[in-house]
A and B are shown apart, each in its own frame.
Chain A
């Protein structure tokens, strides 16, 4: 009976069905490649259209960015410096605090503390960035004004600080993964030689996990560069070439937001600036991502 049942199964049909399913799955996996291609092509084509009207030399040497004014100047530097400035401030907060939180969680905290702190970090990570922007504008800026009276309502300082807070859980969780991946035998050996807990954490475990930690910092920096809502809300809308953190500036992302919110006619030169700026932003983050990927691959300590 079993034999007849087996025979009843249409094996050819089944094989065809298996093939069909496999093709569907390949298609699903290929979507990611199509997405990348889509991103690159849409950015490249429109950027070429932009550079057919504005010379690339002006784009890279001009120090003013005024495409929406009557006297149009297309120098990307004010946007780039503002982006780097806010991101650098953010990293000054996120790297020390994130690393400390990671070392604390992985090497010092008892299971109980870890069970309470980790969800808290996850809550911080899950807060939408528009909420952080609101926080920067309505809480941090008035608070900082007590200490820096010349601070403008919109400034890169509070935007950067809050962005740093936003990135703490990101740095912490990635670095913690790297730290916990260091095998216990290293800890035990170091304790066996009479090291204190702190010495084990800082002199043995951290150097052993350094590739993962650096990769997490690089990724956080790339996040900071691409972060939009916090800077769009709290850092201002004034493109200017400065490293003064107390004045309003405009990052690449806030420019994209400004153009998108205005009614820029399709096909106009200011419409193409959106893509040129987007392309610059993409190149920045892409290089950082590749670098972090390479870091992890190249310098990973293998314990076997």
Chain B
């Protein structure tokens, strides 16, 4: 390396300290070193504190208290017995005494009360008579440590309301579809959309990414044309140069912001290839999707987004397979592709799979490109095919976060927990898979 980049110190050899001065010099330098080490550690701890703050904030919002106000108390309806213990006849009696005749008649017309199950009747009683209404939302810390204050506050604004514990993250939250009422809203549609997108993106980007990586690692330096003819030499050179271009290009693509991929997807998959991505070419006409804003468009866009990372990590995995294995395979008379398929790929597979799953799980948290290609922010029907409209978890979280009411903030936090659990389990799956594949290869 060049010497000037090391920049020789101002002190030259002639002025080296001696004796007591030298000892002082050494100890002060060591002290300075210790202080800086402390600063470095402090900064690292600062990062950890931020992470903890984020986690605390999410949990604090996702669980907590709500002030509920009932139109009628449950005890008043049932003389103190819980609704769940009542028989069907008793439930119907409650409905008949408490509901106005017009409402009752409507219900009877839908389906006679006597034919309905007990759960249904309880739901009706809850919705029509008890009518719980959330009038205030408190975070977990307020609920646990500030109880008297919030109780006093609530009594002042809503005298009949009560404070209850509420976990916004619940099984109901996961299995119910979207709703404009935050208390009833769930993320079923969003989870299904996310899983659909995950699988499709993996299906598209894995073969393409691994294929490109194999080409760049194994075939790039081949000279397929005859070197003795000028035209052949020229062709070989062109191939070499374009391979170099592809590598630079992949590096550049990995730096393009995700929202630009969204614009690409909008222009090409949603607009230009609308006939294909909306399923019209296959004679598939979904009345709800009149355009190309489908899961397929999203998956194609996401695949292009993750492709550079998949290629780079697969290249690393392929490069790590020792050359001696390839040579042994050639020595036994195998062709190039036989060597790649039977020797290189199986050995590189643990690395390839881990890299692919990790990069795709990153993409699952992406929101921006999906907003641009026009994923739905409010949708209650499950995605059923490649050509369905869809929504995804991060988009739902964004939608809820951007609303001012505290209820939406709470369900956004609950949604975040689900998203993070999904991502962590994907990462864990990637690591387990790698360890499993590694141990299998070593033992054979």
Across the interface, do B365 and A127 meet the contact criterion of CB distance under 8 Å?
yes
Least CB distance, A250 to chain B, in whole angstroms:
14
A3 at the interface (CB under 8 A from B): no
Q: Out of B43, B53, B214, B362, which one reaches A104, CB within 8 Å?
A: B43
B427 at the interface (CB under 8 A from A): yes
How long is the Cα–Cα vector from A21 to B218 in the complex, in angstroms? 12
> What residues of B have a CB within 8 angstroms of the CB of A203 in the complex?
7, 9
A165 at the interface (CB under 8 A from B): yes
Stretch of A63-71, A74-82, A222-230, A238-246 contacting B (4+ beta carbons < 8 Å): A222-230
Q: Out of A30, A117, A139, which one reaches B246, CB within 8 Å?
A: A30
How long is the Cα–Cα vector from A17 to B413 in the complex, in angstroms? 54
Across the interface, do B256 and A285 meet the contact criterion of CB distance under 8 Å?
yes
Across the interface, do B365 and A32 meet the contact criterion of CB distance under 8 Å?
no
> What residues of B have a CB within 8 angstroms of the CB of A261 in the complex?
371, 377
A253 at the interface (CB under 8 A from B): yes
How long is the Cα–Cα vector from A261 to B368 in the complex, in angstroms? 11
Stretch of A39-47, A51-59, A144-152 contacting B (4+ beta carbons < 8 Å): A39-47
B267 at the interface (CB under 8 A from A): yes
Q: Out of B2, B311, B367, which one reaches A129, CB within 8 Å?
A: B367
Across the interface, do B57 and A199 meet the contact criterion of CB distance under 8 Å?
no
Least CB distance, B405 to chain A, in whole angstroms:
13
Given contacts A17-B337, A138-B61, contact A129 B252 (CB under 8 A): no
How long is the Cα–Cα vector from A107 to B36 in the complex, in angstroms? 12
> What residues of A have a CB within 8 angstroms of the CB of B260 in the complex?
39, 43, 226, 278, 281-282, 285
A289 at the interface (CB under 8 A from B): yes
B6 at the interface (CB under 8 A from A): yes
Find residues 10-63 in chain B having any chain A CB closer than 8 Å to their own CB.
Answer: 26, 29-30, 32-33, 36-37, 39-41, 43-44, 46-48, 50-51, 53-54, 57-58, 61
Residue of A46, A96, A226, A303 with most partner-chain B CB within 10 A: A226
How long is the Cα–Cα vector from A281 to B264 in the complex, in angstroms? 13
Residue of B9, B259, B397 with most partner-chain A CB within 10 A: B259
How long is the Cα–Cα vector from A170 to B354 in the complex, in angstroms? 19
> What residues of A have a CB within 8 angstroms of the CB of B36 in the complex?
198, 202
Across the interface, do B259 and A253 meet the contact criterion of CB distance under 8 Å?
yes
Least CB distance, A150 to chain B, in whole angstroms:
20
How long is the Cα–Cα vector from A163 to B398 in the complex, in angstroms? 16
Across the interface, do A35 and B304 meet the contact criterion of CB distance under 8 Å?
yes
Q: Out of A17, A120, A281, A290, which one reaches B259, CB within 8 Å?
A: A281
How long is the Cα–Cα vector from A196 to B222 in the complex, in angstroms? 50
A97 at the interface (CB under 8 A from B): yes
How long is the Cα–Cα vector from A168 to B245 in the complex, in angstroms? 31
Find residues 336-361 in chain B having any chain A CB closer than 8 Å to their own CB.
Answer: 336-337, 361
How long is the Cα–Cα vector from A223 to B255 in the complex, in angstroms? 7
Residue of B26, B245, B255, B394 with most partner-chain A CB within 10 A: B255
Across the interface, do A121 and B32 meet the contact criterion of CB distance under 8 Å?
no
B420 at the interface (CB under 8 A from A): yes
How long is the Cα–Cα vector from A165 to B51 in the complex, in angstroms? 9
How long is the Cα–Cα vector from A288 to B257 in the complex, in angstroms? 12
Across the interface, do B398 and A130 meet the contact criterion of CB distance under 8 Å?
yes
Given contacts A33-B246, A38-B264, A130-B398, contact A28 B1 (CB under 8 A): no
How long is the Cα–Cα vector from A97 to B42 in the complex, in angstroms? 10
A92 at the interface (CB under 8 A from B): no
Closest to B364 in A: A128
> What residues of A have a CB within 8 angstroms of the CB of B258 in the complex?
226, 228
Closest to B5 in A: A207
Across the interface, do B423 and A126 meet the contact criterion of CB distance under 8 Å?
yes
Across the interface, do A97 and B47 meet the contact criterion of CB distance under 8 Å?
yes
Across the interface, do A33 and B413 meet the contact criterion of CB distance under 8 Å?
no
How long is the Cα–Cα vector from A191 to B215 in the complex, in angstroms? 45
Closest to B377 in A: A261
> What residues of B have a CB within 8 angstroms of the CB of A35 in the complex?
253, 264, 304, 307
Across the interface, do A257 and B371 meet the contact criterion of CB distance under 8 Å?
yes
B401 at the interface (CB under 8 A from A): yes
> What residues of A have a CB within 8 angstroms of the CB of B261 in the complex?
39
Given contacts A100-B39, A127-B365, A139-B57, contact A260 B335 (CB under 8 A): no
Least CB distance, A146 to chain B, in whole angstroms:
15
Q: Out of B9, B245, B264, B362, which one reaches A126, CB within 8 Å?
A: B362
How long is the Cα–Cα vector from A42 to B260 in the complex, in angstroms? 10
Chain B interface (Cβ < 8 Å from any Cβ of A): 1-2, 5-7, 9, 26, 29-30, 32-33, 36-37, 39-41, 43-44, 46-48, 50-51, 53-54, 57-58, 61, 207-212, 214-216, 219, 222, 224, 243, 245-246, 248-253, 255-264, 266-268, 271, 304, 307-308, 311, 335-337, 361-362, 364-368, 371-372, 374, 377, 394, 397-398, 401-402, 409, 412-413, 416, 419-420, 423, 427
**Can you pick out 26 interface pairs between chain A and chain B where the beta carbons lie within 8 Å of each other?**
A22-B215, A25-B211, A25-B212, A39-B260, A127-B365, A129-B368, A131-B416, A135-B54, A168-B47, A207-B6, A208-B1, A208-B5, A223-B255, A226-B257, A226-B258, A228-B258, A229-B398, A253-B368, A257-B372, A260-B374, A266-B271, A281-B257, A281-B259, A285-B260, A288-B255, A293-B252
Chain A interface (Cβ < 8 Å from any Cβ of B): 14, 17-18, 21-22, 24-33, 35-36, 38-39, 42-43, 46, 96-97, 100-101, 103-104, 108, 117, 120-121, 123-124, 126-131, 133-135, 137-139, 165, 168, 194, 196-199, 202-204, 207-208, 210, 219, 222-223, 225-229, 232-233, 253, 256-257, 260-261, 266, 274-275, 278, 281-282, 285-286, 288-290, 292-293, 301-303
